[in-house]
Structure 1
């Protein structure tokens, strides 16, 4: 069991390094550099860079505004409140919210010292530079999570196959398994985690295009929603017909071909053939048979959409 995560380890080491550097170069309130590092350690490189930019920009804005306000109104609580009334709307307007808290804390140093001279302005800028700088350096290396994403892919595909096989059984036996709902819940949870991992992986690269995993997870999420619609049809099926058996065998071929590299071209052509065969069959003789046939036809439409989603995904990555 892991008691200390990678991010926690970086946070502890980074805070200590930032405080030591700040102290060694003679900055006051060196502990603030460590706090800034703690707040700036992020899960991805892009997040770290964005937050560093926001905090540096907001720090400069805060020091400029606070210096003007303190010189006009003095170094007191009322002046600090007025500073916040000016500073916060500006940072929100320019989307620098990540710097509000740390910049406000740095401004309190000026308030305590009752000075906005060049030494204290430089001191606060130095604390911010060291804090975000150490965090950025530590975040230059992120452990690869591609192996975890590949495991997610295998899991998701296997769960989708299981769900399709449960549907096949229902089509043949007219019996819905209670296991199906559990499979859907497990698939939904894993898809949620997998999408987060895929986006984190994307945000750990600046130059390389690693959007494939994000697109893959979005594609499987769309297919999951389609499977949910397909599941709803079984609440209306109440008899097994020749068409149900045919549909079951076709669904089985879809399940067996469900893997990352499949383009679904073959299955989509089979849908058209199957739809044509259904039209040639004898018309329903009873209302119940008509309603079931209509539900089967809608099930086929949704299964076709399931395949189209995969086909469009593969087309985007096959040049």
Structure 2
């Protein structure tokens, strides 16, 4: 049933009911407003919920203060309410508390309905606000972990990268062109999904930073840019030259080594040895050979950037 309804829907229902129940037990006027406040304060992340709650508290304090002065000194008339809102909204926006406009307007309308301002009435409104905010924050202490989803996304991205390296090597070995390049598009979508989930997870950790997955997906995003840059370069290379075959072998090894662990140092060393071996080969005899050799070294340069990005990445502390 929990999965069918959804955790946020369930939290909203329980939070609203809890706020109304407490306000009603305290015999507060307009006790339903506590439930409305709770509904508005329940958000998708803890950080957003805290920010939303704080904005509503600030806005309500400003709104009640303005309403008390204007209604008591000018009168309880519709034109005064209009002037109040015209003054109140810009002030709240200036104090970066615009999420509290709706909630504050409800509390100001309470004063307009009662046509009086007393300490008891103001205390009633503040209690309604605090009960609603408190119920929302209590509900938002539970946030489901999406680590499993992010690890699945991580594996899917790595499978795409493995396929890309495999196809690059296959082309250099035999000029095989039956690959659609779908994995490059899929990897881009998966990285975007991963970053969105990683940011949500980060916003659910108020007092500590858990940003491994965010940095991981950003690292893969940078590497994907390089893989995309390499595609037109590889497609123009001559697969018959011996240097292409050596680079193809190296790419095939990279295809098998795409995983969260950091093996970049090992492959950077291999890459350096490969570059030295290519430099020691016989010089090109024609302009075409020279151009191919130049493009191959450009390709090696891109691979070096790809590996350097991974080298700088900190491994998962939970798997060390």
- Match of 2:117, SS state, is coil
Counting only pairs closer than 5 Å after superposition, residues 71-220 of structure 1 correspond to structure 2 as 71-180=72-181, 182-220=182-220
Quote the Cα distance in structure 2 between the aligned partners of 1:175 and 1:29: 73
Whether the aligned pair in 1 keeps the contact of 2:41 and 2:49 (CA below 8 Å) is yes
Quote the Cα distance in structure 1 between the aligned partners of 2:93 and 2:293: 57
For structure 2, the 5+ residue unaligned runs are none
Q: Deviation string for 1:111-155 (max 9, x for gaps)?
A: 222223223322222222111111100111222222222222222
What is the Cα-based RMSD across aligned positions, in Å?
2.4
CA shift in 2, pair 1:27/1:232, >3 Å: farther
Quote the Cα distance in structure 1 between the aligned partners of 2:202 and 2:297: 40
2:248 is matched with 248
1:268 is matched with 268
Whether the aligned pair in 1 keeps the contact of 2:89 and 2:101 (CA below 8 Å) is yes
1:38 is matched with 39
After TM superposition, give the deviation of residue 249 of structure 1 in Å: 0.8
> Under a length normalisation based on structure 1, what TM-score does the superposition of the two structures give?
0.90
Runs of 4+ aligned structure 1 residues displaced above 6 Å come to 315-319
Whether the aligned pair in 2 keeps the contact of 1:170 and 1:177 (CA below 8 Å) is no
2:25 is matched with 24
Whether the aligned pair in 1 keeps the contact of 2:16 and 2:39 (CA below 8 Å) is yes
Q: Deviation string for 1:45-91 (max 9, x for gaps)?
A: 22212211121111111111222222333223332232233322322
Whether the aligned pair in 1 keeps the contact of 2:195 and 2:217 (CA below 8 Å) is yes
CA shift in 2, pair 1:246/1:100, >3 Å: same
Q: Deviation string for 1:235-280 (max 9, x for gaps)?
A: 4335542221111111112221221112410111122222222222
Whether the aligned pair in 1 keeps the contact of 2:19 and 2:34 (CA below 8 Å) is yes
> Under a length normalisation based on structure 2, what TM-score does the superposition of the two structures give?
0.90
Quote the Cα distance in structure 2 between the aligned partners of 1:122 and 1:128: 10
Quote the Cα distance in structure 2 between the aligned partners of 1:36 and 1:258: 48
Q: Deviation string for 1:160-190 (max 9, x for gaps)?
A: 111111211122222444431x212221121
Quote the Cα distance in structure 1 between the aligned partners of 2:178 and 2:303: 19
Quote the Cα distance in structure 2 between the aligned partners of 1:166 and 1:77: 72
1:55 is matched with 56
Quote the Cα distance in structure 2 between the aligned partners of 1:295 and 1:262: 28
- Aligned pairs, number: 318
For structure 1, the 5+ residue unaligned runs are none
Quote the Cα distance in structure 2 between the aligned partners of 1:80 and 1:287: 83
CA shift in 2, pair 1:286/1:94, >3 Å: farther
